Amino acid sequence: MSNQGYADELRSERGYLAGLYTRLDAERARARGRYTTAVGGNGLEAMERDVHVRASAKEVKRLDVADNGLCFGRLDTLSGEHRYIGRIGLFDEAADYEPVLLDWRAPASRSFYTATAASPENMRRRRQFHSRGRTLVDFTDEVLGRPDGDARGDAALLAAVNAPRGEGMRDIVATIQAEQDEIIRLEHPGVLVIEGGPGTGKTVVALHRVAYLLYTQRERMERHGVLVVGPNPAFLNHISRVLPSLGESDVVFMTAGDLVPGLRVTAEDEPGVARLKGSLKAVEVLAAAVADRQRLPVEPVAVELGGVTGRIDAETAAWARDEARASGLPHNEARAVFVEIITYALTERAIGRIGKGWLTRSDKDGWEQLRKDLISELAEDEVFVATLDELWPVLTPEALLGSLYASPERLRAAGADASLFRVDGTAWTVSDVPLLDELVDLLGKDKAVVDSAERERKAEAAYAAKVLDSMITREDMMDDEDHLFATDLLFAEDLAERFVEHDTRELAERAAADRDWTYRHVVVDEAQELSEMDWRVLMRRCPGRSFTVVGDLAQRRSAAGATAWAAMLEPYVPDRWVYRSLTVNYRTPAEIMTVAAAVLADFAPAVQPPESVRACGVAPWSRQVTAAELADAVADFVRDEAGREGTSVVIGPPGVPGAVAASETKGLEFDAVLVVDPDKILADGPRGAAELYVALTRATQRLGVLHQGPLPQALRGLVPVGTPG
In the annotated binding site for ATP, the residues are: 196-203
DSSP state of 41: -
- Side-chain-side CA neighbours of 607 within 13 Å: the count stands at 24
Distance between CA atoms of residues 724 and 638, nearest Å? 12
Alpha-carbon distance of 35 to 500, in angstroms, equals: 23
Paired with 572 in beta bridges are none
Q: Sheet holding 621-624: strands in order across?
A: 648-651, 670-676, 699-707, 621-624, 719-720
Residue type, 117: A
**Residues 667/230, Cβ–Cβ less than 8 Å:** yes
CA–CA dist 319, 329 (Å, integer): 16
What are phi and psi for residue 228, nearest 5 degrees? -115, 120
Cα of first residue to Cα of last residue in the chain, in angstroms, is 42
Cα distance between residue 258 and residue 123, in whole Å: 47
Q: Is the dihedral of CA 498, 500, 505, 510 positive or negative?
A: negative
Residue type, 592: I
User: Does residue 329 come out as left (phi exceeding 0), alpha (psi in the -120 to 50 range) or beta?
Assistant: beta
Q: Quick one: 551 exposed, middle or buried, by C-beta within 10 A (0-12, 13-18, 19+)? A: buried
CB 7 within 8 A of CB 458: no
Q: Which residues are annotated as a binding site?
A: 196-203
Residue 316 φ/ψ, nearest 5 degrees: -65, -45
Ranges of beta strands (E only) in 291-365 are 301-305, 308-312
How far is Cα 90 from Cα 86, in angstroms, rounded to an integer?
9
Contact between 638 and 725 under an 8 Å Cβ cutoff? The reply is no
DSSP H/E element including 103: strand 98-103
R_g over Cα of the chain: 33
Give how far Cα 68 sits from Cα of 71, 87, 208, 484, Å: 9, 9, 17, 52
Task: Write the DSSP symbol of residue 660.
Answer: B
